[in-house]
Amino acid sequence: MNFILSSTTLLRHLQSISGVLATSNTLPILDNFLFEIEDGQLTVSASDLETTMRTTLEVESKDGGKIAIPAKLLLEVLKNLPDQPCTFIVDMNNFGIEIAYDNGKSKMVGYNGEEYPKTPAIENSNTIKISGEIISKAINKTLFATGNDDLRPVMSGVFCQFTPEDITFVATDAHKLVRYRRTDSQATGSSSFILPKKPLNLLKSNVRGDEEILIEYNDSNVIFTLNDIVLICRLIDGKYPNYEAVIPKENPNVLTIERAQFLSSIKRVSIFANKTTHQIKLKLAGSELSLSAEDLDFSNEANERLTCNYDGDDMEIGFNSRFLMEMLNNMDTTEVKLVMSEPSRAGLLIPGNSSNEHEDILMLVMPVMLNR
């Protein structure tokens, strides 16, 4: 099995899928890229059993076949080669691989490609097409709010819900929640699934805004097809918590404030907050917002006052400053609204002036009890 292709083209394709490779694999063959050639088309796959990524490119080759090539070695060789044609000569009897280039050659030993784990075929699947811009925005807006609790695996992923009216992406770790909804993209039927974090990160780094992404899914797996890349992943099994139930419906107290000003004030005040609770206090009265934090163990404290637009009853409410900062960092409007009902109920952060009428974003943050 011999083939010729450009070193930089191959490197670019390998780097786009190399994120799947796990640092510690139970099967040694998973430390390899699977190369399959058929009719002058080379398909390279990488997998960690849960997630598989494939990329396809043209090669010069007279024959077909499969071989697993050590990923780390191959990437190192290609990274240090200038752009030139590389000839791969594979001995199918002992799985020896020789890579010949302008001023030399390197040899390594691979594995039998037939032993590489097979990708699951998706049966009875549904399909939906979504623009890359929507997918990348949805991932960016929700991924930070996912949980890391091994006991509640459903909360470690992003919940995707497709209906004929809209598509919704939700992430929560029980302290904060993000709901990202788009009305300019719809599905034919209603369905939902939970996507793990790793494939979402891989998707994020490979999506370009102007392309269409085909999503095929059933109860256990999902396939994303974009450009020359296919990503297949196993879904998280389980029932997602009823997130609508935790979003307070009646929120008469509304604070409207400039996002950048609010964020930088929280950053400064939170330096003096308790290092375990990260608690920051917001005191609202009239058109003034007072932010304060104190760390009683070290007698540290800070106070700041901001002018704002506040409509509601005077109140004092405590939040974890790290959650507020994460949320404000993930919003891109100039103004934000913090809507609240009472100090013991969750506060909602929503954009003050959205530039996109098809986009609905809501971020929920649980309050922390104030030390009296």
Distance, in Å, from the CA atom of 275 to the CA atom of 294, rounded to the nearest integer, reads 10
Distance, in Å, from the CA atom of 184 to the CA atom of 252, rounded to the nearest integer, reads 30
The residue-averaged pLDDT of 105-132 equals: 91
The pLDDT of residue 372 is above 80: no
Given this model, what pLDDT does residue 297 score?
A: 86
Could you tell me if 231 and 149 lie in one domain? yes
In a domain, 343, yes or no: yes
Eight-state DSSP code of residue 157: S
In a domain, 109, yes or no: yes
Give per-residue burial for 195-227: e unless 16+ CB within 10 Å, then b.
bbbbbbebbeebbeeeeebebbbbeebbbbbbe
132-186 pLDDT tens trace? 999 999 999 999 999 998 889 999 999 999 999 999 999 999 999 999 999 988 7
Q: State which of 87, 115, 143 marks the end of a domain.
A: 115
Question: Which residues does 193 contact at the CB level (< 8 Å), separation at least 6?
Answer: 159, 160, 217, 219, 222, 235
Least confident of 19-28, 135-144, 276-285, 334-343: 19-28
Q: CA quadruple 181, 184, 187, 188: dihedral positive or negative? A: positive
The pLDDT of residue 6 is above 60: yes
Could you tell me if 283 and 336 lie in one domain? yes
User: Which residue(s) pair with 51 in the sheet?
Assistant: 233
Could you tell me if 211 and 228 lie in one domain? yes
Residue 119 buriedness (CB in 10 A; 0-12 / 13-18 / 19+)? middle
The pLDDT of residue 354 is above 80: no
Could you tell me if 253 and 363 lie in one domain? yes
Could you tell me if 139 and 188 lie in one domain? yes
The pLDDT of residue 223 is above 90: yes
Give the domain extent around 175.
126-244
Could you tell me if 17 and 75 lie in one domain? yes
Q: State which of 115, 140, 163 marks the end of a domain.
A: 115
In a domain, 84, yes or no: yes
* CATH number of the domain residue 178 falls in: 3.10.150.10
Residue 279 burial (CB count, 10 A): 21
Could you tell me if 237 and 300 lie in one domain? no
Supply the mean pLDDT for the chain. Answer: 92
Please provide the DSSP assignment of 204-258 as one string: HHH--TTSEEEEEE-SSEEEEEETTEEEEEEPPPSPPP-GGGGS-S---EEEEEE
Whether 129 contacts 214, CB under 8 Å: yes
In a domain, 120, yes or no: no
Given this model, what pLDDT does residue 340 score?
A: 95
Could you tell me if 56 and 68 lie in one domain? yes
Could you tell me if 255 and 323 lie in one domain? yes
281-308 pLDDT tens trace? 999 998 899 999 999 888 899 999 999 9
The pLDDT of residue 118 is above 60: yes
Question: Which residues does 354 contact at the CB level (< 8 Å), separation at least 6?
Answer: 333, 361
The pLDDT of residue 357 is above 90: no
User: Which residue(s) pair with 336 in the sheet?
Assistant: 257, 351
Whether 47 contacts 55, CB under 8 Å: no
Q: 96-101 and 32-38 as β-strands: parallel, antiparallel, unpaired?
A: unpaired
The pLDDT of residue 192 is above 80: yes
Least confident of 59-68, 72-81, 167-176, 318-327: 59-68
What's the domain count of the chain?
3
Q: State which of 203, 228, 244 marks the end of a domain.
A: 244
In a domain, 60, yes or no: yes
Could you tell me if 138 and 219 lie in one domain? yes
In a domain, 91, yes or no: yes
The pair of structure tokens assigned to 189 is: 């039927």
Given this model, what pLDDT does residue 286 score?
A: 87
Given this model, what pLDDT does residue 371 score?
A: 67
In a domain, 51, yes or no: yes
In a domain, 172, yes or no: yes
The pair of structure tokens assigned to 331 is: 């919003």
